[in-house]
Amino acid sequence: MSSDELEFFGSKLSELDTVNRTYTWRILFDHVKMGKLAPSKFKDIVLQKLPTEQNEKTLLFVFQKISWLTHLGFIDKHLMKPADQVTPTSEEPFLNQLFTAIFKS
pLDDT of residue 73: 65
pLDDT of residue 50: 84
pLDDT of residue 79: 47
Give yes or no for a contact between 24 and 75, defined as CB atoms under 8 angstroms apart.
no
Instruction: Tell me the pTM.
Output: 0.68
Each as own residue / partner, the long-range contacts of residues 87-95 (CB below 8 Å, 24 or more positions apart, any chain) are 94/43
pLDDT of residue 3: 73
pLDDT of residue 32: 84
pLDDT of residue 19: 92
Q: What is the distance between the alpha carbons of residues 60 and 54, in angstroms, rounded to a whole number?
A: 11
Mean per-residue pLDDT pooled into runs of 10, the chain (105 residues): 74 86 89 82 83 88 83 58 50 66 67
Give yes or no for a contact between 37 and 6, defined as CB atoms under 8 angstroms apart.
yes
